Structure 1
Amino acid sequence: MTVPVEDELWQRFRSGDEQAFTAIYNAHFTTLYRYGYHIANDDELVKDTIQTLFIDLWRGRRNLSPTDSIKFYLLKAMRRQVYRAIRQQSAAFTDADAAHGLSFSPEFDFITLEVQAQQQAQLRQAIDQLSHRQREAITLLYIDGLAYPEIADMMAVQVRTVYNLVYEALEKLRKLLVQPGFWVMLMAGVVI
């Protein structure tokens, strides 16, 4: 969305327009889910957190400030909500990642799914060896498409720190992963 369209949509939402609220929810649910899942690694917790976030937004809409980027505003709010939910939850649960497949022949589909499942498992193991901050930084950069200054603001660190976190994460992944195909998939956001 362009800035004027986002401004208008946000203003309509703040004024109580349910269609604007629905449009914001539909436009950003997937991004919020993906980001929340990378923090919590818990499908139900993330879905519940998104619902709570939007309920809170609707209830407090009249007190919300204007924003230049709805996506950035929501991601920042989502981050706070997920960490709050994690603190309230006593046990952590994990869900398996879904494999992505191509539709050619059944044999090709099977082979592709097997290879992707193996690569995803290896990449997930490598990513799990990163620090929490490194995982968060590369998720925000490569998956959610935020700029370094936005990531710095979201993580409450200096921009230089974000550069360092991303660099260190990529160096560590490079050492852990020997197949070059991982880097194409990582940059495309296919398997994280």
Structure 2
Amino acid sequence: MTKLTTYSDHELLIALHCGDKKAFEALYFRYFTPLSTYAYKRLQDEYVVTELVQDVFVDIWKKRETLDTDGEVASLLYAMLRNKALHELRARFIQSKHIEEFTLLHKDDVADKLTDGLYVRQMEEKMQQAVNRLSPQCKNAFTLSRYEHLSYKEIAEKMSISVNTVEKHIGKALQLLRQEFQGYNLPVVILAGLIELALRR
């Protein structure tokens, strides 16, 4: 691996084309941070950015045998990431439009629910139960991210764990909360408020 880090992009691309896993790892460590920085400027979400960058490298590995070894690997990586980022932004736009339409169509119902003390308490309790089902480490990482607004790196340092472990904890927490409220059709703003209330306790 030490020797491969001195290879040029072109040499690593040729080795990758031949199925060299060490060359793939060298490219991964060389470009993961620059790609993540590039994507974060556009998406502002560390968890999503990490997933997209990892997807880019998964795609590169799957397509290794068909890669153009005369091309520039940096241009290829950034182009692939740019396409994934645009897809994510389009998905966000569509989601926001759906939320807007849902709110307009059900604004009276939503307003009634928000002013219904019993309903709000039930939702708060349900959210609190979901958060409490998280493992202590998972709950701690999620709380530091969503309530104290720390970066993944800051959380990793505070908890003495790796950034990758932080990502897994927060991803697991979000997945559980999404599953818990899957059938409620609540606008994101309401869920965000419920999460904050649960984390304050």
TM-score if structure 2 supplies the norm length? 0.41
Computing the radius of gyration from Cα coordinates, the structure with the larger value is 2
More helix by share: 2
TM-score if structure 1 supplies the norm length? 0.43
